[in-house]
Structure 1
């Protein structure tokens, strides 16, 4: 500290120092650039001691090199020469905040390798290293060095050391503030990256997001939500009253009641399916799900956040399938959905850089279990589907085409389930591939598809296999016979006699009942490994596995007897029904199934020509 009792020149110097230091502190508080602040500190040292040329070094992030931070009075050539002076481990004191700058390796800073190198450089430019003082933090250790040099050999080192030490605190404050601000900016950038990742994942899933302030009646929609209805960002207001005007009048009471039930804590979440008006005046079906995320002290809802998904196509499928409405609704209710960001490194390693909480339903695991690698997926995905799953991802990565796959998973609680994944990839500059997408539960839809497949192979009236299905079964039987060396099967063609007369005399409704009656007799007469099908209007075909002509003829006569013993009764009147049957054998030498079918047809025509209600066998 300067003694202000000295002459007026010293007192004026003291006042200038105070003013300079106050200015520096103001710059620090206002977030001035670090280089400018350190230059001001170095200048303040030189004002206090005009004979000194001040130099400030900062330790770089590696902790092994000093970089020049401020040297306002040095010649540029000298500044360049001393920039980047190395600090060797063992010669640079690595001391804790509470330790002094002296350790067992060096007596003091001016005995270190740094000092020798610094002294040599400045001496080459006609200067003499005078003194060096460490810039030390209470929490972050050594931050740098404040050094001074003179134009002639030092004769007052202690005085100069004190001058540097008095302003080193200012340098410490400035550097620590710069470090803190840098860390804050890094944290803010990380938070922004996480938010961007979530936004991209949601956008890739085709899901809209809404955020409602219950207290003020405001509701804000994401761009994706507005796009579902055909609106741009500026075309929809943020009042809940306006949002209700878009709900279909027939659904409005239901929607409001469901929301109120959630507000009253009667439900854990809000979930509805309803119609909503688009910009062009048409209506879409949507699934809207949400939850109150904050309440006041009395339990009144304050904020509610949710998502909206366009389910118009799903509802259209529901209508086409008529009786499947409840199944489709159940499917929709069971799809929580997984919004994800999937990252694959150039070396093939992969992980979910973001996974929503929906992963707990989709895969029955926590997001952190796939945050570093995806090896757990091998245990979840069905073994028969895992190879295809991996190959589809690899193909998407190679071509950058959208990923789409339906696959099975085996879960501890839910068991075997179907999943559908959709995502769009993009290549990052560092070679990584990044997907943003959505995975949903399609188990119920897959079950419906199986049922539709069955509908396509069953005759609606008789509930027997239709011609297409029966012919496929014949193909399988022929292949079996050709593999089994000598085995055969009997093929029977059955035709109801005078069926046209029944239709004309009693009406088509009675005729349909007669067909169903005969189909029941045929079905009950079959063994487990036999097959029957309706192949024409009143024509039925039968495959009797491992059966010869004699057994086939017995079967045919048994059917004729059963229909005679149990005639059809319609409108209180007995309607006699007889059947003509032609029999042939399916042989290993048959080129195709048409051969045996043609032979049984020929036998059937002979039975018809023999007066009907006959059994004929084609022995050829």
Structure 2
């Protein structure tokens, strides 16, 4: 959050409270900037929750000047588009601040990077904020008058009796030596008391302090009386005439001491901050709710910041991090690189580069990657996040990571079902043809390379089915497929084209290497018969071979050549190898 700024006027003594209100306003509505304009003309002050550029300040002043001619309050939900081309912020809502007599004191503004409307609850909240702002502005004027009166009355030691009707602030004057304390009419009215219903003893005043706050209040006052603090200030609860408690902020200062430094007189104010506390409590409850919700989500919710210098950190991580990546939220917020360290080595570069690409283009982050925490199996994660450039040049991501291991396993199984022949576990015809197309495309990019296609057909397969049955026929097909797999390299592919017909594509292989491959397959098949009821069944296979080159217009042409070679092997007596 950038520091609040005030322009065109000296800083007010009340700016600290107004600044707090504006910061709270910006956080509550989650907008790019919340602005409070106070005063008019040359005495106008602009307080914002974010640093405004010259263009935005000019637009606010223009909108304020236009609104100053109106006496009716603008509907909090009313949309207003500032003039000017290329404005980076949109005016979401404007709420004029009018005194009870109709005098315009200023206005509240909400600005954001995208135009949107406030819902009914947000409009009511804006009205509540406006009420608080009016009270603070009234207190600013009242406190200025109080300071003037205190200075004027100090020499004559007259008791201060300023009544500020409806201001929410009262004044007290305490004789520390005698224990007497006098309250203004406004102070008594603050708690609902009439003039004669409040005594002037300090002991009685402590009976109105909430029991849970009493020791804290006494200790804070004593610290100031002992000159351990420059002033007395404390937030606590006071009991009203009706028995209810109000939250107040008490401020005071010793204005007279004797020659030994003992306190004689202390003057201060008491301000009703119940509405502010209630609003702060609602904000805290909302934050707690969001934390609880993110911790219960089955995944990891995170906020990640990358500085302009390249340094990065997690500024928020939900409790789901432990289940997703085996690291606690505290570990990740302490060291963002702990996550990178457990990303699978094959995915780590893509993981790092994805954030760099995202930060450069401010495009949404989406990535599927593997992680392996110590003592855990490899797990698949899916990450989603949206980046936003900050005023200091950093990039802030709000995102979510979830475990997709089960989905990846299902996808793998579906992929296997779609590409694999169920009986032999070799590539099915469709997948084999796709692999063959990929090999041809590679050859066409590198014409100097070569490949070979081999077609196999089990000899007398129909006779096996007729004599021993289809179960034995299936056993024969599985047996032959296992022999083929045993001869393949990682760069080769074997598939079942249908029935007892198989095909193999050998990458970076010429005809002699293909002949050697076919010979090894035939030899292994001859040495390892299948067994059925104690009987050995020997299998034989015919093979047709052709070359695949960059000159081939399609894989069908090369397959056709292999098929013709296979036909020649069959016609030549079977259990033979022929090439085209």
| TM-score normalised according to structure 2 size | 0.46
TM (normalized to structure 1)? 0.43
